[in-house]
Amino acid sequence: MPDPSIGAERIDRRVPGRCRSVRAHDLVIVNRDPEVKIFLEKAIRIGELSGKWFENATEASGYLEVFMPGLLLVSVECAGQVEDIGELRGRAAPGLSVMAVGVDPSRDLVVKAMAAGAHDFLFAESSAAELSDKLAKLLCIAARARSVGEGKSPGLERVELICESDRMKKIISLGERVAASDATILIQGESGTGKEVLARHIHQNSRRAGKNFVAINCGALPESLLESELFGHERGAFTGAHGRRQGLFEMAGGGTVFLDEVGEMTPAMQVKVLRVLQSREFRRLGGTKLLEADVRILAASNKDLRSEVREGRFRIDLFYRLNVVTLELPPLRERCSDIPGLVAHFSRRLAVEMDLEEREFSPRALETLAGLQWEGNVRELENLVERLLLLCDRRVISTVDITEHLQQEISRSPEETTALSSASLDEVKRAHVSRVLHANGGNKMKTARQLGINVKTLYNLIRRLGIGS
């Protein structure tokens, strides 16, 4: 799912066709079989995925009219359920992957499911761990395919940026001004500030808007895999390379390549990317033919690349190639005037997604939110709004609701609750993070995911708040 950031994405109703929010559950499951449900629930839990469950195609259709999940899973244990696949394919966005699922289906049922429009059949007879791994891989493939196809499908909405602060408006205006050129742009800012959202906005305002926008997190892949993803490979280039595969520079096809967390690349990868920027040519792994890189490159980093250059961790020549235009995104705590609009947006969208009554936040509640530090920035704000919508019963969410929610998350003992009533926001946050960290047995990856921030932000938060010291 894209970073919510600046920039929460907002559906542009002017775009023809059915508009869907790109943020949704990883999986939408249509299932009537208890055995299948137990098995899938275990696989989803192992993979720490999110799933939205429906008993029939009619119920799921309304959701798919608005949201685009990672995958659609349809349980088929009889011929009648196969019809759900055809109905849902007609309702869902064209790029949605549909998987049929069954415990012990007949060969005829598998054939019918594929004929009805299923892309593949998942057998629930393997272990839940194996299925979880399979789902994770399918989600990656589906996300990659949608990224490549963006800008070509009229059913996909444009991204708009939600902001009221003068500082953000100036940054967006500058981004739109330089979008018309092919200049390389470096976007810097903390995690969750909206770097990818801004990059997509620049692409959509450029002459390459009708072409592909492809994004890759340079810090999420080892060097060997990152190289293959960017440049592609020929058959036999390495063990497991059974055929030719295009890389992102090819797949962009005259569009835009977004290199997220570019500061995480190894020195060897920095050299290879530099060559592409200099010559506008590259070779697939294991290949000899020079290919043209007809792409616009946008890069982003949550690190200060100037400091990385001084420390010898980032090539100065690559830095100046990327740094033709720099856009510095401020953290949310420095643009508090954007919080009311973002909160209203998240509240509306999440209420629809979770089938809840839309809520409002009182002026005092918004002031309270504006006083937080927001180490996870807009991503963290979205996470908090979601939890408040789930836990609060009142139509208007107040400061009391926010305080009570944080207190309940931290401890249910009367002594601690009393102490927290006069605690500072940092004290409340310190107690909250400590509790979640303890509940996860010190696992920082799980803790960060639960808090709605990345691991690096969590480490910074632990250090700043003195947790564990």
Which range is least confidently modeled, 36-40, 48-52, 418-422?
418-422
Give strand ranges (E) for 124-228.
185-188, 213-217
In the block, residue with structure tokens 């601690």: 416
Reported confidence tier of residue 50, pLDDT bands at 50, 70, 90: confident
Reported confidence tier of residue 458, pLDDT bands at 50, 70, 90: confident
Which range is least confidently modeled, 101-110, 298-307, 421-430?
421-430
- What are the structural domains, with CATH classification, of the chain? 27-149 (3.40.50.2300), 166-330 (3.40.50.300), 333-465 (1.10.8.60)
Could you tell me which residues come within 8 angstroms of residue 453 by beta carbon, excluding any fewer than 6 positions away? 191, 192, 375, 376, 379, 380, 383, 461
H or E element that contains 135: helix 128-149
Tokens at residue 289, please? 């033919």
Residue 264 has pLDDT above 70, yes or no: yes
Residue 13 has pLDDT above 50, yes or no: no
Provide long-range contacts, Cβ within 8 A and 24+ apart, for 104-110.
Answer: 105/76, 105/77, 109/76, 109/77, 109/78, 109/79, 109/82
Question: In the 3-class helix/strand/coil scheme, how is the chain assigned residue by residue?
Answer: CCCCCCCCCCCCCCCCCCCCECCCCCEEEECCCHHHHHHHHHHHHHCCCCEEEECCHHHHHHHHHHECCCEEEEECCCHHHHHHHHHHHHHCCCCCEEEEEECCCCHHHHHHHHHCCCCEEEECCCCHHHHHHHHHHHHHHHHHHHHHHCCCCCCCCCCCCCCCCHHHHHHHHHHHHHHCCCCCEEEECCCCCCHHHHHHHHHHCCCCCCCCEEEEECCCCCHHHHHHHHHEECCCCCCCCCCCEECHHHHCCCCEEEEECHHHCCHHHHHHHHHHHHHCEECCECCCCCEECCCEEEEEECCCHHHHHHCCCCCHHHHHHHCCEEEECCCHHHCHHHHHHHHHHHHHHHHHHCCCCCCEECHHHHHHHHCCCCCCHHHHHHHHHHHHHHHCCCCEECHHHHHHHHHHHHCCCHHHHHHHCCCCHHHHHHHHHHHHHHHCCCCHHHHHHHHCCCHHHHHHHHHHHCCCC
Mean of per-residue pLDDT scores for the chain: 78
- Report pLDDT for 150: 45
Other residues' Cβ atoms within 10 Å of the Cβ of residue 41: 15
- Report the C-alpha gap between 382 and 2 in whole angstroms: 13
- Report the C-alpha gap between 275 and 289 in whole angstroms: 15
Tokens at residue 303, please? 């690190």
Residue 316 has pLDDT above 50, yes or no: yes
- Report pLDDT for 171: 94
Nearest to 230 by CA among 260, 206, 199, 185: 260
Overall average pLDDT of the 83-87 stretch: 76
pLDDT digits (tens, 9 = 90+) for 126-137: 677 778 877 877
Higher pLDDT, residue 67 or 226:
226
DSSP string, 331-378: PGGG-GGGHHHHHHHHHHHHHHHTT----EE-HHHHHHHHTS--TTHH
- Check if the beta carbon of residue 194 is closer than 8 Å to that of residue 3: yes
Overall average pLDDT of the 254-268 stretch: 93
Reported confidence tier of residue 460, pLDDT bands at 50, 70, 90: confident
Residue 393 has pLDDT above 80, yes or no: no
Residue 201 has pLDDT above 80, yes or no: yes
Q: Classify 187 as helix, strand or coil.
A: strand
pLDDT digits (tens, 9 = 90+) for 145-167: 555 444 443 333 455 578 889 99
The most confident of the ranges 11-20, 50-59, 141-150 is 50-59
Residue 10 has pLDDT above 90, yes or no: no
pLDDT digits (tens, 9 = 90+) for 218-235: 887 788 888 888 998 888
Residue 140 has pLDDT above 90, yes or no: no
Q: Which one-letter DSSP state was computed for residue 262?
A: G
- Report the C-alpha gap between 51 and 66 in whole angstroms: 16
- Report the C-alpha gap between 466 and 445 in whole angstroms: 19
- Report the C-alpha gap between 4 and 382 in whole angstroms: 8
- Report the C-alpha gap between 360 and 395 in whole angstroms: 7
Higher pLDDT, residue 307 or 403:
307
- Report the C-alpha gap between 132 and 121 in whole angstroms: 14
- Report pLDDT for 66: 66
Overall average pLDDT of the 429-442 stretch: 74
- Report pLDDT for 161: 75
Overall average pLDDT of the 285-299 stretch: 91
Q: Classify 301 as helix, strand or coil.
A: strand
Work out the percent of the chain whose per-residue pLDDT is above 70: 78
The most confident of the ranges 101-105, 398-402, 416-420 is 398-402
- Report pLDDT for 100: 85
- Report pLDDT for 412: 39
Reported confidence tier of residue 411, pLDDT bands at 50, 70, 90: very low
Reported confidence tier of residue 65, pLDDT bands at 50, 70, 90: low
Nearest to 63 by CA among 93, 95, 98: 93
Q: Which one-letter DSSP state was computed for residue 7?
A: T
